[in-house]
Amino acid sequence: MQASEVTAVGVRREASGFRRSGFTWLAYLMLAFYGFMLNSLGPITPFLKREMGLSYTVSSLHFTAFAAGILLVGGFGHRLIRRAGRRRSLWIGAAGMSAGSMMLATGRTPAVTLPAALLMGLVGSLILVIVPSALSEEHGERRGVALAEANVLASGLSIAAPLLVGWLAATAAGWRLGLGLVALAPAALYLGLGRTRAPVQAAAAPVSDARPLPKLFWCYWAALILSVAVEFCMLSWSGDFLAHGLGLGANRSSQMTSLFLAGMMTGRWVGSRMVRHGGEHRLVLGSILTAIGGFLLFWLAGSAALVLAGLLITGLGVACLYPMLQSLALRATPGQAVQASARTTLASGVAILASPLLLGSLADAMGIARAYGVVTVLLMGVFALVQGARRRTAPAWPGSPPG
C-alpha cells in the first residue's frame, strides 16, 4: 500500500469516527430536560383546568404563553448568548426552565401559572437555541449524527412526561410532585457536568448580526415550520381523532397517542444510525414519504389496527425531519451558527403557536376527520421545499457526497 493510500485510509477512518465529549453529553441531557418540560405542559393542562375552574380558552393559554416565549427568544436570544457566552447562557436557560416549572407546580391561580409558562418558554428556550449550534460547531460534518442522537434522548423523556404525570396524578402525591422533582434536574447536572466547557471552536465561533442569513437557510427554515406543524397537529388532535373516528373512550384515545411518540423515538434512533452512512437530504426525503404513507393509513383506514399502525408509522416518518432539517439549515450558515439556531427556534415557536389552532379551527368548520387532511398538505410542502433546496445545493459542495 502506498503512502498516499495509507493517508486516505486514515482520513476516512477519522471522518467516520464520532466522539462524544463531556459537553456533548451535557448538551444531550439539557435538550432532554427541555423536551420533558415541554411535553409535560399538555398532560398537566387538564388538571390545571379542573383544579382552578378554568375555561378551555384560558387553560389553553398556557401553551400560547410558552410558544410566545419561544418566539421572543428565537428573535433575540442570539444577542444575549453573544454577550453572556454560550456556557453561561445554557445554565441561565436551565435555571429559567426550573424556576418556571416550580412556579407552575406551586401556582394556584392563572396569574401565577401563565407567567410561569411564559418564563419556561422565554428563558428555558435558550437551551433550544444553544444546543443545536454548539453541537453543530463541535462536530462539524457529523452534526447530523449529534443532532439525531440528542433528539433520540429528548424523545425518550418526552414519552416519560405524560406517563409520569398520569401516574402521580392517581396517587396521593399528585402531579405537582413530578414536575417539581424534575425541575431539580439541572442542579444534579451541574454537580456532575458543571465544570464542562464548550469546545474552543464552538465557544469562539463568530456571530454576525449584520450579515443576513442566506436564502438557502430560509428555505430550510420554512420546511422546519411545516414539519414541526405536522408534529404538533398529531400530538394535539390525534387523540380526538381516534375518539371520534374509532369510538374509543377519551382515556384510551389519549393513551394511544403514545404510539406516535414511540414511533418518533424509534425513528430518531434509527435515523441517528442511518445518517452516518448517507446524507441528510436522502434521509429527509425518505422520512417524508414514510410519514405520508403512515398518515394516509391513519387518516383513511377503517379498522382500528390499521389506524393505530398508521399513527406509529407517521411517528417513524416525522421523527427525523426536525433534527435533519435543522442540520441542513445550520450547514447552510457557516460562521452564523448561533444566529441560525435562534431562527430555527423561532420556526418552532411559529409552528407550535399556529398549527394546533389552525387544525382546531378547520375541525370546527368541517369536522376533525376532514380537517386532518391538512397534514398531507403540510408534508407535501416540506417535500417541495427540500427538493428545491437540494437542487440549489447540488453545485455548492462539489467534493461532498450526494445528500
Which three cell numbers mark 87?
456556557
Q: 3-state DSSP call for residue 198?
A: coil
Q: What is the pLDDT of residue 198?
A: 64
- Entry pTM: 0.72
What letter does residue 85 receive in the DSSP assignment? -
Q: What is the mean pLDDT of the chain?
A: 81
Three-state SS sequence of 320-370: CHHHHHHHHHHHCCCCCHHHHHHHHHHHHHHHHHHHHHHHHHHHHHHCHHH
d(CA 276, CA 274): 5
d(CA 345, CA 340): 9
Asked whether the beta carbons of 338 and 82 are under 8 A apart, the reply is yes
Extents of the domains making up the chain: 21-205, 210-403
Q: 3-state DSSP call for residue 297?
A: helix
Domain at 21-205: CATH architecture: Up-down Bundle (1.20)
pLDDT in tens, 75-127: 788 788 888 888 889 999 999 999 999 999 999 999 999 999 999 999 999 99
d(CA 98, CA 123): 10
Q: What is the pLDDT of residue 254?
A: 62
Cβ neighbours of 7 (radius 10 Å): 10
In a 13 Å sphere around the CA of 181, the CA atoms on its Cβ side amount to 10
pLDDT in tens, 265-287: 899 888 878 877 667 788 899 99
For residue 315, is pLDDT > 80?
yes
The amino acid at residue 336 is Q
Question: Residue 375: which of 352, 358, 388 has the closest Cα?
Answer: 358
pLDDT in tens, 218-244: 999 999 999 999 988 887 777 777 877
pLDDT in tens, 126-151: 998 888 888 888 887 777 788 888 88
Domains 21-205 and 210-403 in one fold:
yes
Asked whether the beta carbons of 272 and 149 are under 8 A apart, the reply is yes
Residue ranges with strand state E in 104-204: none
Q: CATH fold of 210-403, please?
A: Growth Hormone; Chain: A; (1.20.1250)
